[in-house]
Amino acid sequence: MEIEDVSAPPSLGRQLVLSAAAAKDIAARLLEPHGLSLAQWAVLSSLWMNGPLSIKAIARLTGNAPPAASRIVDRMITGGLVLRQEDTSDRRAVVISLTDTGEAMRPLATLYEEVNAILLDGLDTEAERALFATLERVTGNARTWLAASPPDRRQTSR
Amino acid sequence: MEIEDVSAPPSLGRQLVLSAAAAKDIAARLLEPHGLSLAQWAVLSSLWMNGPLSIKAIARLTGNAPPAASRIVDRMITGGLVLRQEDTSDRRAVVISLTDTGEAMRPLATLYEEVNAILLDGLDTEAERALFATLERVTGNARTWLAASPPDRRQTSR
DNA sequence: CATTAATAGTTTACACGGCAATAGTTAATA
DNA sequence: TATTAACTATTGCCGTGTAAACTATTAATG
């Protein structure tokens, strides 16, 4: 997506969204030959690092809400990457585990290192460190503010 | 969306996606009382700053592909925010312009400044400057790499 | 122990992103 | 000028995200 900033505001949010989109594009490009989407890779990554997981755990680790995780897992079952089994100790829950096909893709677990290298090309160690630290600060600021300004539930008084 | 990094890789891409999501969440929270989505705000912002625009121009300014822009505009027409008219000089094109309702929301044009202030809280001027510069470098790196590694079109030979 | 509350997962409805294909119009060219 | 190419916008199909409603199960409480 080419974007010429003819008349758009100098917004940090915009810059963050552009940078994040660029990172996603790189990951998607690297995953394309393997027939994986980034969302699917994130689920596989969670399973590679943690073993079999519930939908709730997958949702938490991938940063999605449970409905999204549930559907992504659906497609991965269709694609033969994972299995869905009952949790014998809690019949509400399910256990998602890797198939041999999903396990065989484990070498892709270090994908993020390739993406890092591409994004950070030409930056010195100090700039890298500062970038991570500042991004964490920014994310923390956002979370603090969001927690202090709860969504308008249309019941200010009651 | 709460995310606990129990066992997830230290990925810049991940951190960028989290930061961008946090910025989007803040903007969405601020827009909620006005019944606007962030995508709709971006279209309005383009129109506030540039006057009536074609779909192609809106797509370029908001960073979307034309089909997405076209559908967002559809919803905004339904919502009474903008109008779609024929372009008399080029009958392929359309001209999207603000209704009075859309124009009346112009005070929201500086929304990004509020978001900036929240995200950058506690950061000194130098850290801010470094953040913007580094993010631009990162985005540039990504674009360079993407241009040099064209998508697999499944026709290496022919 | 019976009722109530909380939890796990899914389904539905919707917003929003991509690409591919299409119709209609304009520009380029043989 | 007739044909071909390029361009604008839209539609279709799909993947992904949210919130809300729902089912089934488990935990908490009277």
Beta bridge partners of B83: B97
Question: Residue B148 has what pLDDT?
Answer: 86
> For the structural domain made of A12-114, what CATH number should be given?
1.10.10.10
CA distance A146 to A144: 6
Per the structure, the residues numbered 67 to 126 in protein chain A that have their CB within 7 angstroms of any atom of strand D are 67-68, 71-72, 75, 90-92
Q: How far apart are CA B23 and CA B29, in angstroms?
A: 10
User: Cα distance from A21 to chain B (closest Cα, Å)?
Assistant: 8
Position B8 scores a pLDDT of 54
CB A37 within 8 A of CB A26: no
Architecture per CATH, B36-104: Orthogonal Bundle (1.10)
Q: Give me the residues of A, 10-29, that contact B with CB < 8 A.
A: 10-27, 29
Structure tokens at B38: 């962030």
Q: Are B116 and A12 in contact (CB under 8 A)?
A: yes
* pLDDT at res. B122: 93
Contact B20 A24 (CB under 8 A): no
Question: How many CB atoms neighbour CB A151 within 10 A?
Answer: 11
Does residue B147 sit at the A interface (CB-CB below 8 Å)? Answer: no
In chain B, domain spans: 36-104, 107-143
Instruction: Report the pLDDT value the prediction gives residue B11, as an integer from 0 to 100.
Output: 86
pLDDT attached to residue B147:
86
- B33-83 per-position pLDDT tens digit: 999 999 999 999 999 999 999 999 999 999 999 999 999 999 999 999 999
Q: What is the pLDDT of residue B152?
A: 57
In single-letter form, the type of residue at position A105 comes to M
Q: What stretch of H or E contains B127?
A: helix B125-148
List pLDDT tens digits, range B4-14: 444 556 689 99
Q: How far is B26 from chain A (nearest CA, A)?
A: 7
Residues of chain A with pLDDT below 50 are 1-6, 153-158
The distance (Å) linking the CA of B63 with the C1' of C17 is: 11
Residues with CB under 7 A from strand C: A 1, 54-57, 66-67, 70-71, 73-74, 84, 87, 90, 92-94; B 37-40, 63-65, 67-68, 71-72, 75, 90-92
